[in-house]
Structures are given as structure tokens and as C-alpha cells.
Structure 1
Amino acid sequence: MGRWEPGAGGRLREAALDLYLERGFEQTMVADIAERAGVTARTFFRHFADKREVLFEASAELEQRSVAALEAAPATASTLDLVAAALDAVVDVIGHDREFARKRHAVIMANPGLRERELIKLADLSAVVADGLRRRGIEEVEAGLAAEAGSAVYRVAFQRWADAADGLDLHEAIRQSFAQLRSLTAAG
């Protein structure tokens, strides 16, 4: 097994997801993942802190890109437009590989501990967005409400995208979900 083989991170991710789906998350050991990927367990730990991080490794990048999108948005953008910009930045990271997203989602939904961690990561992202909104001068309650609404929009849009049999783009699913939210608030 080559120590420094290129692409080890991707192979480890793919092997882990396949094994989690075949055997279940709890029944899959790091050694199993490394063996399937053709690397050593030490190589696994160079890429991931533990076997959960295969599923959650992009969290810090999502937060950083969301903040950058908020900071780069025009000063005239509405609060919901700012949240939409932050979500677009998230989609730029995760919205390119629907099959990976489907597999990841299936693994997470099959394990209560992973579902809890996913909710925590989404709550963390929402808090980061709310903080970014406040830094732009948006009042505390409005910032929190908008960030939480954005989180709900993301979850609904992600599920539509992951389940879609057609070529629905995640950016478009988010735009459609925001439009539905806006129509709900205008009607109510």
C-alpha cells in the first residue's frame, strides 16, 4: 500500500461511504475503510480525524465561504438576499456531486448520532450566518430569524435536489424554495 498515493482522500471518502451503506456506520472500522481504499490506517488519519469526519469534513469550508459571500454582497442587498448569497456559497462546495450527497444523506439518516451531528453542523452554520448578518448591521432578531429561515430553505431545497430524478440544480432548488418562502410570507 502506497503511503503517499495521490487521490487517497477521495478514495477513502468513497470507500467509507460504500462501506457505511453496505455494513452500517457503526459496523465499519477505520481499518476496513483504509483496506478498501488501498491505503494504511495511518493514511486515513492523515486525511480525517475519525470516521465521522468523512461525512462532515467540509463544515469549516462551508462556514468560511458563507461569511465571505455575506461580506462580498452589495450593501443594498435585502436580508434574505444576503442569506441566499451565503447559501449559494454553500452550494458551490456541495452541490456538484448529487450521488455523493445522496449516499452521505442516506448514511446520516440511518444513524441517530450522525443525524444529531448533522443538525449541530447546520445550527453552527446558521449561527455563523446570523453573526455575519449582525456584522452587516442587521438587528439581532431579524438576523437570527433570517438565518434560521435560510437553514429551513436549505434543508427543503437539499431534499428536493437529492430526490430529483431530473436535472434540478441545487442552486435552482434553493432559489425556488426562497421564492416559495417569500410567497408564503407575502400571503400571510
Structure 2
Amino acid sequence: MNWKVNNYQTWNYKKLNKNNSKYSAGILPYTYNVDGKCLFLLGKDNEGDWSDFGGKAEYKDFNEPQKTACREFYEETLGVVLDYDDCYQKVNNGNPIKIISKTLNGSPYYMYLLYIEHHNHTDHFNKTSNFLKYLRYNNRIFEKSSIRWFTIDTLLNCIDNKQSGGPISLRGVFHKTIELSKEQIILLNN
């Protein structure tokens, strides 16, 4: 699958992706407000469901879930929260919580709970999104229509209410992932 050329590692991307990278990965950012309450940054997709920031592996990820997670986070937040390199540094050296779940098709899903500083990322996201739309960028780059901080109580309420009657609508695979990791999420608030 790989070979050496001039002592450098070179990858056969097509074989790598077809054979080994049937996984998805994402990032669920969290922070604390001035009262010490845990908050989670979620993105709203075009169907109106909220979730973390994640997606499928691509060739350029070298079959590394951390790279997939950071790339997806960078793309879906339009780069306004963290740039790719800072995100990758935090994931690899910041000791984030890694949760392993399954996608709807049964492939592994790696979600990294990543601490970030509390800022009003919603305004930056909206301004960047509006500017890119003004420039008539391809609509495919807009995977999220909004981003927003939610309290841990809101997230736990969504888990406990199994989506029906919850305060916000969560994407199915995200709901399943956080439901499986409820105890780890609760520990962040202590």
C-alpha cells in the first residue's frame, strides 16, 4: 500500500482510501462560561439538525482520524473557530477525549471532544458565510447554516428525550454518539 522513494514515505492514495479508510471523524468543541457551566459548540445542517463537525475520510487524510476530524471541523466552521494546524496541534497534543461510535452504515466514527476558548463564534461564522455567499462561492462549501453554543443541560435534555420533545433537533448519528458517551459528557461539567 505504500512504498519508499528517496527515503521518503509515499502513499498510494487510491488503494488507501478504497481498502482502509472506511471511517468518519469529527470534533465536538466544548468550553466553560463565566459561571463554570460546560457549553458545546454545535453546527446546524441544511436540514435543520444540530451536530458536531465531522464527515468521511478523504485521500489527503492519510487514514488518520485526527486529520479527518480537523479537516472537517475547519471546513464546516469556515475556518472561523480554529485554523487547521492549530486544531491538529490541539487534537494531537491536547489530550482530547476520543469517543468511538458507528456511522449509520456501521463504519467507525471517531469524535474528539476538544476544549477551545469561549468566544462568540456565531457572529464570525455568519459574517464569513455572508461574505462567501456575496462572492457567489459554490453552495457545496456551506455544510452548516449556523453555529452556536449550547449548554450541557440542553444536550443532556436532547439525549434523555430521545429527540422527541427535546429543545433542539439533533442529527441522528450525532444523537446516537452522544447518547453512548453521556457519562463522559457529564464528567466535563464537574
TM-score tier after normalising by the smaller chain length = under 0.3
TM-score (norm 1): 0.27
TM-score (norm 2): 0.27
Higher strand share: 2
Higher helix share: 1
Q: Rg bigger for which structure?
A: 1
- Higher RCO (CA < 8 A, seq sep 6+): 2
